[in-house]
Amino acid sequence: MKLYLAVFALLAAVHCEEQFNGDQVLRIQAESESHTEVLKELKKNVDWELDFWTHGFSTERPVDIRVPNTSLCAVKDFLRENNISFTVMINNVQELLDKERAEMVNNEGMERETKSFVFAAYHNLETIYAFMDTLVASHPNLISKVNIGSSYENRPMYALKFSTGGVSRPAIWVDAGIHAREWVTQASAVWIANKIASDYGVDPSVTSLLGQMDIYLMIVTNPDGYAFTHTNNRMWRKTRSVNLGSSCRGADPNRNWDAGFGGTGASKDPCSDSYHGPYANSEVEVKNVVDLIKGHGNFKSFISIHSYSQLLMYPYGYTCADIPDQSELHAVGTAAIKELTSLYNTRYQVGSICNIIYTASGGSIDWTYNIGIKYSFAFELRDTGYYGFLLPANQIIPTAEETWLGLKYIMGYVRDHPY
Ligand SMILES: [Zn+2]
């Protein structure tokens, strides 16, 4: 263990990896409108370098903020002065990160020794890409790797295409990891890719689905951001594009789609974690997916996987107005969650993005819905705020298993309701 820590310290020094010693994540509960106003003011304070893990402010839902060690006293005093109650959700962020890293290093050694992939572990981009190659090689008649373009830093972006033939069959899109730090999403997508491959020809539902439709699964939708979470800053969310006139990098790739772009719930500030970018589709990672979807022209469902909060959402995010298909999508979502919950009793909420969490403009599923992809959904996976983005690796498989049940329900419904 000592050796691992020494190696880790060395790597950290080489990469100038961001440290979070003594940082805490506070869970704050607004009890009145005046509290939410105070929290909005708090968000404007740039001196305290707060990292909001949740977005939007309401009395319905807690606000989770990572507070740097140096700002802790000031922030806690501020909350007490305003009679706003809070709890400490994570006592020392760096402690969890060290544990996460040690587990990864340990696992890498084990995988080298056994030459097998461990699904209950987090992996870097290279390892996930190597896993994809292995999976494609072992299922050449079912899976192919589609390069949809390159990221800002010139990394290839791969979708796994599950197809049993046909030309431009109706298809279902699933993506994970558009927000870099939501590690359980990429890890779950890896497990799900393997699950689809091994269930084809075994599970009648998967077999009949792939007899009629294709599935595109993009495991790492923000490869630059994901690589950066491994080398420099585990808390990174955005892309890594350079912003003209600012020293802050990146835009929020889920505020960058051409649906209500630049509206409420996105920031104009390049330093903000919800910066929408200079214009819609400015982020090449978003543009690549948009081009693939448009070029294909026959997607019937688009499902985007995020964490955390345990929610299954449908459009819209940029307005709280109901979509024409509200009642159908609500029913599908509710039934999908019933399946998901049946495995480990993990509780989810279902609703439109705007109604269930907050107004958020420029989101992917609003755009896909508006171009006619009716079955557009977004998941927020585990947990509800015990570990947040730092979900321990031993929860990867249970999370993936239950999510798969929800996904499979939606996919089956899409298959049985052609339009
Ligand atoms: Zn997200």
What was the pLDDT predicted at 300?
A: 98
Q: Residue 254 C-alpha to ligand 1 middle, in angstroms?
A: 7
pLDDT in tens, 312-324: 999 999 999 999 9
pLDDT in tens, 214-273: 999 999 999 999 999 999 999 999 999 999 999 999 999 999 999 999 999 999 999 999
Ordered strands of the 63-67 beta sheet: 51-52, 63-67, 24-29, 85-90
Question: Has residue 107 got a pLDDT over 60?
Answer: yes
Q: Residue 64 C-alpha to ligand 1 middle, in angstroms?
A: 14
Question: Has residue 6 got a pLDDT over 80?
Answer: no
Radius of gyration of the chain (CA): 21
Q: Residue 170 C-alpha to ligand 1 middle, in angstroms?
A: 27
Mean local confidence (pLDDT), 129-157: 98
> 109 CB contacts (<8 Å, ≥6 apart)?
none
pLDDT tier, 9 (very low <50, low <70, confident <90, very high otherwise): low
Answer whether 180's CB lies under 8 Å from 236's CB: yes
Q: Residue 182 C-alpha to ligand 1 middle, in angstroms?
A: 6
Q: Residue 81 C-alpha to ligand 1 middle, in angstroms?
A: 32
Active-site annotation, residues: 380
Q: Residue 82 C-alpha to ligand 1 middle, in angstroms?
A: 30
Answer whether 41's CB lies under 8 Å from 50's CB: no
**Alpha-carbon torsion, ordered 209, 145, 194, 238, to 10 deg:** -110
Amino acid code (one letter) for 75: V
pLDDT in tens, 68-78: 999 999 999 99
Q: Residue 389 C-alpha to ligand 1 middle, in angstroms?
A: 10
Question: Has residue 4 got a pLDDT over 70?
Answer: no
Q: How far apart are CA 45 and CA 166, in angstroms?
A: 55
Fill in the DSSP letter of residue 241.
Answer: P
Residues paired with residue 104 on neighbouring β-strands, in sequence order: none
Residues paired with residue 88 on neighbouring β-strands, in sequence order: 26
Q: Residue 229 C-alpha to ligand 1 middle, in angstroms?
A: 14
pLDDT tier, 10 (very low <50, low <70, confident <90, very high otherwise): low
pLDDT in tens, 54-64: 988 889 889 99
Q: Cβ of 152: how many Cβ atoms within 10 Å?
A: 19
Q: Cβ of 372: how many Cβ atoms within 10 Å?
A: 11
Mean local confidence (pLDDT), 276-296: 98
Q: Residue 110 C-alpha to ligand 1 middle, in angstroms?
A: 30
Burial 98-123 (b: 16+ CB within 10 A, else e): bebbebbbebeeeeeeeeebebbbbb
pLDDT in tens, 322-346: 999 999 999 999 999 999 999 999 9
Q: How far apart are CA 231 and CA 234, in angstroms?
A: 8
Q: Residue 125 C-alpha to ligand 1 middle, in angstroms?
A: 18
Mark the residues whose beta carbon lies below 5 A from ion ligand 1.
179, 306
The whole-angstrom distance between residue 57's C-alpha and the CA centroid of its chain comes to 20
pLDDT in tens, 20-64: 999 999 999 999 999 999 999 999 898 999 999 998 888 988 999
Fill in the DSSP letter of residue 21.
Answer: T
pLDDT tier, 5 (very low <50, low <70, confident <90, very high otherwise): low
List the one residue out of 73, 108, 68 whose CA is nearest residue 90: 68
Judged by DSSP in three states, 299 sits in strand
- H helix or E strand, kind and range, residue 333: helix 326-344
pLDDT in tens, 160-199: 999 999 988 999 999 999 999 999 999 999 999 999 999 9
pLDDT tier, 14 (very low <50, low <70, confident <90, very high otherwise): low
